[in-house]
Chain A
Amino acid sequence: MVATSLRQLLDDLLTSPGIGESRTRYFDARPARTAHFPSWLDPRIVDALRARGVNELYSHQAQALEAIAKGNHLVVVTPTASGKTLCYNLPILHTLIHDPEARALYLFPTKALAQDQLAELNALSKSLPALRMFTYDGDTPQDARRSIRARANVVLTNPDMLHSGILPHHTKWLSLFENLRYVVIDELHAYRGVFGSHLANVLRRLKRLCRYYGSNPQFIMASATIANPRDLAERLTGEPVEELTESGAPTGEKLIILYNPPVVNPELGIRAPYLIEAARLAIRFLKEQVPTIVFAQSRLAAEVLLSTIKSAVEAKPGDAGLVRGYRGGYLPGRRREIERGLREGEVLGVVSTNALELGVDIGHLDVAILSGYPGTIASMWQQAGRAGRRNELAAAILVASSAPLDQFMVENADYLFGSPPEHALINPDNPYILIDHLKCAAFELPFSAGERFGEAVIDREVRALTEEGLLHEAGGRYHWTSETYPADHLSLRTVTTDNFLVIDTTARDAREKKGRKVIAEVDWKGAFQMIYPKAIYLIEGEQFEVQELHFREDEEKVAYVKRVSVDYFTDAISAKGIWLLERFDRTPAAEVEHARGEVLVAEKVVGFKKIKFQTMENVGSGEVELPQQEMQTSAYWITIGQTLLERISSSRDELIDGLRGVSYLLHQLAPVFLMCDVRDLGSWLGEETPVGEERRVRTVREIRQALLELPHFSPTIYLYDSHPGGIGLAEKLYTLYPDLIRHALTRLRECSCQLGCPSCVGPVNEVGRKAKAVARALLERVKREE
């Protein structure tokens, strides 16, 4: 059987009925721009490159080598597979073979990427004088650590390990710190928001120790396309950085399709479910043997998509393993196996979360299907970039969901294709983040009076830590005087570092510790969403029912699961509550108050829905008893007075529907203004309640009941930073709320639905038939009050 060509398949797709609302954009192939190897580059390296078939450099590689040779800090911004690793590997190998004492530190956001890059370095340096290059992370055996610390020329690690395993033990890393010449930070774009703010502080600590040991490393960074790579690089490193953005690598022709699933119920504004549409497209390509990657927006979506696609594509016996899943939580062995399968062509298709957005080496695929807008333009380009070979046609298809943001992007293709990718925002001086790193830094070396931390003046913080008894002043220096190990109490990524092991007890008793079967890992936060008792946990399409979840502090964090075969999956029902800690600012207005401040957000999974695979209908539910998770963060909120509300409607029910519509709409629209992800914000409709003893969370249904029964009806819409402590999103919203309200009104006026749809106030069957009208009236009043 001759497989239909990709061109043919795309033609078919673009001429099929129902494609009418979709948009396409075509990108021409672009030939390579090359340059000679610089004359100073060691001939042994040149030979090694030639042996691998590399006879010239791309222009950006040659430019990078020159910039690095000049001693500049550098950030290279070029697309996936443009050979950016050579930009840093070549000059570093050159230095290392001439100076065996020289050291380089490579940072990658994940352990897997460090492993990949080590393999790459080893391959490249095979014919060079022996160099000692090692990964150093949680998986490094204890007995190998000592020798790595003392002797490795190149250490490949991650920010977390640098933070908790290397910096606090710097005396053991003497030779690294004394001879550190290069710090490589790859996947720079991954370090934005809170994670990036942490890394900036980790790098401040690193530079502080380098100064102590008399070294002054050069920073070499590589990033996917974002709006402000140089700015991010400079904020992270605190150094002036040169930027290289022109790729000399060739690209094949590429078609990008923004696919809007057809409307199946015009009155309700309901489109064909995007997951089903995405699966349908993927199945079509895979059946014709076209290597395809499907990106899903959540772990659950990835598993649901995978189940559907697998059952259609792996029809024959012997097809098993043709389509695989890939997401956080899979064990490293499984991930490596899938990556290898993709590179070597045994695996034809993969359904992934954004885990494969990073530079994990999976070779080249022909088609990328993005099921749902990934939340940012930068991610969209990253995911679309997974499809593409040098000389052939490739395609990326964004299947829009009915979420307002997705619909906005499909309707405004020029906006999507024309806008620069998002800014990567970090705030290293965020007091919550800063103070924790100051503790770590003081543990590493006493602070001198008047010392700065990066750019930050820290006298006030040092004084406060001294008053707390954590620091002690002696001889003009501030010493750490606590028994604690501060790096242990600070995780760079999530609230806690504890992961839950998911253990298959189908064949074995849960209490038998020996030889037990761990099938996955789930992080602390994810655990309550995914592995509550009775949940169906999906892993590459296989179904497991959770029997027990152990989460108490004094017990091992595990979930025991048993294999099952059911036709539904489960979706957690959360309850939430917000309490006011402190109000920083407010607009003086009688009827509508805009404010910002600190809030306490509590969340808890209280139950789950069972959803049928094929139809996505709700077929049951259950309750669970799990701990409540609380965080302090910053919020922007609008409180609307009773008089104003009574002028709009006499029915509290309708008003609540309208308010929910407004809060949905504002939450979905705000990311466009803040250049952040929808998930970076949370929203909630409630009331202004000061924080008190009893902090009972409520489901959406319960909060409605509570609002209905309020003696004085003056509800509040909250939009809050979903990162603990906040990263300034709420503050920014407070300064631009007039724009937000104006755009929300425009959106309501222009939305073509009658009674509310996912693109404005939410689907009518969820928010009620009056929601859209009430929301519009509400927003008009709110605007008038300004």
Chain B
Amino acid sequence: MKREEKAGRGRALDIRCQGPGARADDVRQVIKLVEARRVYGRPHHQQKTLAELVRGSYQETDFGTVLVASRRFPPSYRHGLLPIGSVLEKPLHPLAAAAGSQSGKELRADRLLYVDTETTGLMMGTGTYAFLIGVGFFDDDGFTLRQYFMEDLDQEPALIAAFDELLPRFDGIVAYNGRAFDFPILETRFILSRRRLPGHIEYLDLLRTSRALWKDHLPDYRLTTIEAEVLGYRREADDLQGWMIPHIYFTWLRQRRPEPIAGVFARNVDDVLSLVALAGWQAALFHDPYSFDLAPPEWSGLGRLWEPFSWERSRACYQEALNAGLKGELWQRLAKRLASIEKRRGNWGEARKFWEECIAADERFDPQPWEELAKHYEHRAKEYTRAREFVLTALDRALECQAREAILARLQHRLTRLNNKCEA
């Protein structure tokens, strides 16, 4: 919900202030859901408190009390196709660096905190609270998942204090979309509790790596999509949608009925488990890609991820993508990318090959390969006549495809220069 129900009185009621009707429907849907649970909910649950429902207990801090629900999972516990402990089996490099680790330190999966927050809104800024912080971490012989919950907004200092107590034991925090969401929200909540996030903590965001891997392969890269399409995990059918969460919490604040909030706890458990499973999946993907049945765009994405760390590994992944039959636009993009990398590395023959392939496959007129090849003939090979012939062909093709003025002008300029060189 991004809009208030009541239009601000006194403000001009121009046509747009009435807002889209869908919003009001959204709220109605939430109310219906909440009400339905009250009426049809199992009666014996109604007697249970939230602490009982989520099997939690109250933790005392110097700043007050906070509700904590803990669960333990063995590393062999499967969340989808892989056990959650698989993240412990592979080196975290270069996954950690690709996910945003800055220090270059070798990070260990058992020294990371896997975090997902539930908030009172999606807007950034100081008025959005993180009311539930779910954290997962590996300890002695298993995986602990702990959820800190503030039963009312004045418990925030206790919530943050309890979370803060954990941090010295870890080197970093992993989250999904953390860079844009969880990390800044935590930072804000720390400052408003008169604290600072400890300086040694690294921030890893698996959205960054997921985007590279799956943006051309999946319809979107929401965590729920990835867990279903990649990790092979299906959530229990639930009508609780992410956008309802703030309303469920606001309703809890006023009515204190625990069932809907318990649903948020359950959802948060799934999110944290998916996060650690995803970290394991991606670590394995980096180091053992051949054990996965990867689609061409995934190979290409993996190549992209390896690029800053190992050109050899990157090149190998790209090659797999090409071999596996990457097509159309994606192929074009990769070929161009490979051409410019090879050019940068001084492998002119390779670079030329890719540009020529681009030109051969181009249906519209993409000026870049043409210009690159023209530059090659003119400046490197110094075959002016051939360069001129080539630019003339390019111009024909550009005109045929109704290319923009600026492109035509550039080609024209090049042609004039080549004419002069040929005459000279």
Contacts and interface: CB of A to CB of B under 8 A. Distances in A.
Interface of A: 168-172, 174, 431-432, 435-436, 442-446, 468-470, 472, 474-477, 479-490, 495-496, 514-515, 524, 553, 600, 627-632, 724-725
Given A485-B123, A632-B10, A479 B153 contact: yes
A468 B12 contact: no
Interface in B101-141: 120-129
A683 B120 CA distance: 46
B10 A724 contact: yes
B9 A484 contact: no
Interface of B: 1-4, 6, 8-16, 20, 120-129, 152-155, 184, 187-188, 191-192, 246-247, 250, 253-254, 404
A179 B194 CA distance: 16
Given A472-B253, A553-B20, A632-B10, 16 more contacts: A168-B126, A169-B125, A174-B191, A432-B8, A432-B9, A443-B126, A444-B126, A469-B250, A474-B153, A483-B1, A484-B121, A485-B123, A496-B14, A515-B404, A724-B10, A725-B11
Contacts of B128: 483
Given A174-B191, A432-B9, A553-B20, A481 B125 contact: no
B381 to A, nearest CB: 33
Contact of A629 (B1, B10, B15, B247): B15
A368 to B, nearest CB: 35
Contacts, number: 125
A157 to B, nearest CB: 17
B250 to A, nearest CB: 5
Nearest to A165: B125
A525 to B, nearest CB: 9
Contacts of B3: 484, 489
Nearest to B192: A171
Contact of A481 (B15, B120, B188): B120
Contacts of B120: 481, 483
A444 B253 contact: no
B127 A628 contact: no
Given A171-B187, A442-B127, A483-B120, A725 B10 contact: yes
Contacts of A168: 125-127
Contact of B14 (A446, A477, A629, A725): A629
Contacts of A169: 124-126
Nearest to B122: A483
A495 B11 contact: yes
Given A472-B254, A725-B10, A628 B15 contact: yes
B126 A489 contact: no
B15 A627 contact: yes
Contacts of A472: 153, 250, 253-254
Contacts of B11: 432, 436, 495, 631-632, 724-725
B125 A468 contact: no
Among A174, A472, A481, A524, find the residue whose CB has the most chain B CB atoms closer than 10 A: A481
A170 B126 contact: yes
A273 B126 CA distance: 56
Contact of B188 (A171, A496, A632): A171
Contacts of A553: 15-16, 20
A489 B123 CA distance: 13
Closest 9 CB pairs of A and B: A475-B154, A432-B10, A443-B127, A483-B121, A725-B10, A631-B12, A474-B154, A485-B123, A480-B127
Contacts of B152: 474-475
A484 B13 contact: no
A481 B128 CA distance: 8
Contacts of A431: 10
B2 A468 contact: no
Nearest to A479: B153
Nearest to B243: A483
A481 B250 contact: yes
Contacts of A627: 14-15
A476 B184 CA distance: 27
17 contacts: A171-B126, A171-B192, A432-B11, A436-B8, A443-B126, A445-B126, A470-B4, A474-B153, A474-B253, A475-B153, A483-B128, A484-B121, A484-B123, A485-B121, A485-B127, A486-B127, A724-B12
A444 B253 CA distance: 20
A468 B254 CA distance: 12
A680 to B, nearest CB: 15
A445 B129 CA distance: 11
A435 B10 CA distance: 10
B154 to A, nearest CB: 3
B382 to A, nearest CB: 34
Contacts of A481: 120, 153, 250, 253
Contacts of B16: 496, 553
B20 A631 contact: no
B4 A482 contact: yes
A445 B6 CA distance: 22
A310 B215 CA distance: 56
A652 B129 CA distance: 64
Contacts of A445: 126, 192
A174 B246 CA distance: 27
Contacts of A470: 4
Contacts of B192: 171, 445
Contacts of A725: 10-11
A495 B121 CA distance: 25
Nearest to A169: B125
Contacts of B126: 168-171, 443-445
A724 B9 CA distance: 10
Contacts of B187: 171
A445 B155 CA distance: 15
Contacts of A486: 127
Among B4, B15, B124, B125, find the residue whose CB has the most chain A CB atoms closer than 10 A: B125
B8 A489 contact: yes
Contact of B13 (A444, A469, A514, A630): A630
Contacts of B13: 600, 630-632
A436 B404 CA distance: 49
A168 B4 CA distance: 17
A445 B192 CA distance: 9
B221 to A, nearest CB: 21
A444 B129 CA distance: 11
Nearest to B2: A484
B2 A483 contact: yes
